[in-house]
Amino acid sequence: MRLGIIGLPQTGKTTLFNAFTRGSQPTGAVTGKIEVHTGVVDVPDPRVDKLSAMFNPKKTIYAKVTYADIAGLDGSAGKSGISGVLLNQLTQMDGFIHVVRCFENDSVPHSAGSINPQRDIQTMNSEFILNDLITTERKLERLTEERKKGAGREKAVVEHEFELFSRFHEALSAETPLRDLELTAEEEKSITGFGLLSRKPVLIILNLAEGQQAPQINVTHRLDMIEALQGRLEMDIAQLAPDEAQMFMDEYGIQEPSLNRVIKLSYDLLGLQSFFTVGPDECRAWTVRRGASAPEAAGEIHSDLQKGFIRAEVVAYNDLIALGDMNEVKGKGKLRLEGKEYIVQDGDILNIRFNVKG
300-328, pLDDT tens digit by residue?
999 999 999 999 999 999 999 999 999 99
pLDDT band at 196 (very low <50, low <70, confident <90, very high): very high
pLDDT band at 230 (very low <50, low <70, confident <90, very high): very high
List the CATH code of the domain at 291-354.
3.10.20.30
| CB-neighbour burial class of residue 221 (10 A; exposed 0-12, middle 13-18, buried 19+) | middle
- Checking if the pLDDT of 358 tops 80, the result is no
pLDDT band at 23 (very low <50, low <70, confident <90, very high): confident
- Among 2-6, 180-184, 252-256, 347-351, the least confident range: 252-256
pLDDT band at 111 (very low <50, low <70, confident <90, very high): confident
b/e per residue 229-238 (b: at least 16 CB within 10 A): bbbbbbbbbb
Per-residue confidence (pLDDT) for residue 154, from 0 to 100: 86
Sequence-distant (≥ 6) Cβ neighbours of residue 268 within 8 angstroms: 225
The CA R_g of the chain, rounded to the nearest whole Å, is 23
Length of the chain: 358
Answer for the pair 279, 285: CB distance below 8 angstroms, yes or no.
no
Rounded Cα–Cα distance for residues 265 and 247 (Å): 24
Rounded Cα–Cα distance for residues 333 and 250 (Å): 44
Rounded Cα–Cα distance for residues 265 and 256 (Å): 13
Average pLDDT for the chain: 91
b/e per residue 109-123 (b: at least 16 CB within 10 A): ebeeeebbbeebbeb
Per-residue confidence (pLDDT) for residue 219, from 0 to 100: 81
Q: What percent of the chain has pLDDT over 90?
A: 70
- Checking if the pLDDT of 131 tops 60, the result is yes
Nearest by Cα to 63 from 319, 291, 276, 342: 276
Per-residue confidence (pLDDT) for residue 79, from 0 to 100: 62
Identify the sign of the CA torsion 288, 293, 298, 300: negative
* CA angle, residues 124, 28, 5, in degrees to nearest 5: 40
DSSP state letter for 293: B
Nearest by Cα to 232 from 212, 261, 255, 218: 212
Question: pTM of this prediction?
Answer: 0.90
Nearest by Cα to 231 from 17, 16, 9, 11: 16
- Checking if the pLDDT of 339 tops 70, the result is yes
Rounded Cα–Cα distance for residues 132 and 138 (Å): 10
Answer for the pair 265, 203: CB distance below 8 angstroms, yes or no.
yes
- Checking if the pLDDT of 294 tops 70, the result is yes
Q: CA of 164: how far to CAs of 38, 141, 167, 188, 299, in Å? A: 34, 14, 5, 11, 30
Query: CB count, 10 Å around CB of 344?
Result: 26
| Residues forming beta bridges with residue 38, ordered by sequence position | 68
What does the pLDDT average to over 138-160? Answer: 88
What does the pLDDT average to over 71-85? Answer: 76
Per-residue confidence (pLDDT) for residue 30, from 0 to 100: 60
Torsions phi, psi for 222 (to 5 deg):
-60, 145
pLDDT single digits (tens) 31-72: 567 788 999 999 999 999 999 999 999 999 999 999 999 987
Rounded Cα–Cα distance for residues 304 and 298 (Å): 8
- Checking if the pLDDT of 29 tops 90, the result is no
Answer for the pair 237, 245: CB distance below 8 angstroms, yes or no.
yes
| Residues forming beta bridges with residue 206, ordered by sequence position | 100, 228
